[in-house]
């Protein structure tokens, strides 16, 4: 008795997971290629950090409310913290993400997003507001640069998806 099955990869998340099952080396190559394609957006995110936003942020501080220690904001650390991440968890909203890993820069990016605080008030006075659910500088910089990479990324993903379908 003959049976035939067709495997269809529905999206990026499924493509990355299927690559891991077929050949982990192919998954590594896919991630390397995606990072290379997204490099203009990563570079734009890094260029967005050119100076310390507020003079007091150049020093480490401790939150009076929670006791959380936050290291000093350093431009070089903020630039180095812009990285690409692949999130293939079931409940992940995005799959290919450009994130900020530096603690001080992440605090700067998101201060006041959920509720107003002193840091947010000071940053707004300096002309750096943030909208609910957004970031201050990395998000807009990456969105401006993403148009140039979307087409190439889609072509690569479609090519890999069809290669997976052929191998299955």
Q: What is the pLDDT of residues 112-148, one digit of tens each?
A: 888 888 888 899 899 888 887 788 999 999 889 888 7
CA angle 115, 118, 123 (to 5 degrees): 95
Distance of alpha carbon 160 from alpha carbon 41, whole angstroms: 22
Tell whether 3 is covered by a domain: no
* Residue 70 and residue 43 in contact, taking contact as beta carbons nearer than 8 Å: no
Residue 53 to residues 38, 85, 107, 129, Cα–Cα distance (Å): 26, 25, 11, 12
Residue 150 maps to a domain: yes
2 in a domain, yes or no?
no
pLDDT tens, residue by residue, 39-66 = 999 999 999 999 999 999 999 999 888 8
- Write out the residue range of the structural domain in which residue 134 sits: 12-167
Is residue 34 a part of any domain in this protein?
yes
* Residue 6 covered by a domain: no
Q: How many domains does the chain have?
A: 1
User: Cβ(57)–Cβ(73) under 8 Å?
Assistant: yes
Residue 4 lies in a domain: no
Q: Is 24 helix (H, G, I), strand (E, B) or coil?
A: helix
Q: 0.85 exceeded by the pTM? A: no
Q: Say if 92 falls within a structural domain.
A: yes
**Over the range 44-70, which residues count as b (16 or more CB within 10 Å of their CB) and which as e?**
bbbebbeebbeeebeeebeeeeeeeeb
């Amino acid at each position: 008795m003959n049976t035939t099955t067709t495997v269809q990869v529905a999206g990026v998340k499924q493509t990355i997971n299927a690559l891991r099952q077929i050949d982990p080396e192919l998954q590594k190559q896919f991630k390397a290629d995606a990072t290379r394609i997204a490099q203009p957006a990563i570079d734009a995110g890094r260029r967005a950090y050119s100076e310390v936003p507020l003079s007091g942020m150049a020093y480490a501080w401790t939150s009076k409310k929670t006791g959380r220690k936050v290291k000093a904001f350093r431009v070089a650390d903020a630039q180095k913290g812009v990285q690409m991440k692949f999130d293939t968890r079931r409940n992940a909203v995005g799959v290919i993400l450009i994130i900020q890993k530096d603690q001080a820069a992440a605090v700067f990016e998101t201060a006041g997003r959920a509720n107003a605080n002193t840091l947010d008030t000071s940053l707004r006075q300096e002309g750096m507001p943030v909208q609910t659910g957004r970031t201050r500088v990395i998000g807009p910089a990456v969105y401006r640069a993403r148009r140039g990479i979307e087409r190439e990324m889609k072509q690569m993903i479609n090519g890999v998806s069809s290669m997976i379908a052929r191998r299955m």
